[in-house]
Amino acid sequence: MNPPKISIIVPVYCVEKYLPCCMDSLLGQTLKDIEIILADDGSPDRCPVMCDEYALQDSRVKVIHKKNEGLGFARNSGLEIATGEFVAFVDSDDFVDLNMYEILYHAAKQHHLDTVYCGVKRINNDHTAVLQCIHEVDKVTVFDGKEQIKQILIGMAGAELSYPKDREYEMTVWHSIYSMKIIRENSIRFHSEREFISEDIIFHLDYLPKAGKIAYLPDMLYFWRYNAESLTGKFRIGRFEQDKKLFKEIRRKLSLLYGADDFSIRVNRNFVGYARNAVFKGIAKGVSKGDVKKEITRICSDEELQNVLSYFPCYKLPVKQVVLVLLIKYKLIGLILMARRFV
């Protein structure tokens, strides 16, 4: 029997409310030659039973039951048994267009690609409204060779100062397919999000330098659900320390890959963006005013951040960002607290 065209790995943890929608979108794919690997990460709700029921209903579904270790390691457990020509990753509280994997696979074969990315629609929790449309290109765009792929990877790490966003390319893994051959030959695996808060960018730093040809499609085929209970929807005191650790690892890996520091300004811009988001958006409702002020003061006084801000040309950023970054640089806590109402 020939291997499936795509293995789709779905980490599962406390998503019994959302799993049916996700699975309906995967089982209904117009590309039928797929396998779906449900990695139950020790979920304490009905998800383990639901996963087994899906496996009984459809022979393309495989189930792994494992102890809870987090999203990255759940994906790794799926990679251990994946047999597809390509692999995809879907978060179990999201869903995809029914044509997504047929479109991505067709593009990969037509253009001889190692990886294909599509656009994303960010939707509200009950998917009745689109909150944001995310796509990097307006037409099929192929990047061929190490130098072009380097520019994509650096664009994931950060953007030019005049760019409206802190990075030019989304660094998430769930709107794409990847060559299993490259992953196997280079033993590429995910780090735990408990080690690095964004394990996806670390995966790309390990994977993309090994790729020869990739493409972006304008089609928005992945539906990213805003879920306040997800990792990205929760505020945690001390999260900025995790952002800082990630910043250092991105900088270290890029230095090993490319030597010269032509990427430093981009990585610094992204790090400053982490700080800006932590100060102005990351501290959610429900945190006391005293704790908010204490956390903002702590972030603004961070030695690593202040060192970067001492030479970072923030005046080249978009105007709104310039103002916010200057408030952080000069630790104007009172003005920051006032500005948070309008940001």
- Distance in angstroms (rounded) separating the CA atoms of residues 200 and 267: 16
> What does residue 65 show for φ and ψ, rounded to 5 degrees?
-110, 125
Joined tokens for residue 285: 């409702």
Share of the chain above pLDDT 70, in %: 95
DSSP-assigned beta bridge partners for residue 9: 37, 89
pLDDT value of residue 227: 67
55-87: per-residue pLDDT in tens? 999 999 999 999 999 999 999 999 999 999 999
CATH number of 6-231: 3.90.550.10
Q: What is the pLDDT of residues 88-110, one digit of tens each?
A: 999 999 999 999 999 999 999 99
As a whole number of angstroms, the distance between CA 187 and CA 282 comes to 35
- Burial string for 16-48 (b: 16+ CB within 10 Å, else e) reads eebbebbbebbbebebebbbbbbbbbbbeeebb
Report DSSP state, residue 129.
S
Q: What angle do CA 177, 205, 13 make, to 5 degrees?
A: 60
In one-letter notation, the amino acid at residue 176 is S
Strand partners for 311 = none
Structure tokens belonging to residue 11: 């980490």
Task: Tell me the C-alpha distance between 284 and 298, whole Å.
Answer: 16
Q: Are 60 and 36 in contact (CB under 8 A)?
A: yes
pLDDT at residue 57, rounded to an integer: 97
Please report the beta strands in 32-155, taking only residues with DSSP state E, as ranges in sequence order: 34-40, 61-65, 86-89, 95-96, 115-123, 130-134, 141-144
Dist CA 230 CA 226 (whole Å): 8
| pTM for the structure as a whole | 0.93
Asked whether 275 and 308 are in contact (CB, 8 A), the reply is: no
**Residue pLDDT tens, the chain, 343 long:** 789 999 999 999 999 999 999 999 999 999 999 999 999 999 999 999 999 999 999 999 999 999 999 999 999 999 999 999 999 999 999 999 999 999 999 999 999 999 999 999 999 988 889 999 999 999 999 999 999 999 999 999 999 999 999 999 999 999 999 999 999 999 999 998 888 888 999 999 999 999 999 999 999 999 999 865 544 444 556 788 999 999 999 999 999 999 867 789 999 999 999 999 999 987 665 678 888 899 999 999 999 999 999 999 999 999 999 999 999 999 999 999 999 988 8
Q: What residues does each domain of the chain span?
A: 6-231, 235-339
Q: Which residues of 156-172 are buried (b: 16+ CB within 10 A; e: fewer)?
A: bbbbebeeeebbbbbbb
The pLDDT of residue 217:
98
- CA–CA distances in Å: residue 154 to residues 27, 172, 211: 35, 14, 15
Q: Could you tell me whether strands 6-12 and 86-89 are parallel, antiparallel, or unpaired per DSSP bridges? A: parallel
Which residues make Cβ contacts (< 8 Å) with residue 56, sequence separation at least 6?
none
Nearest to 274 by CA among 311, 302, 315, 313: 302
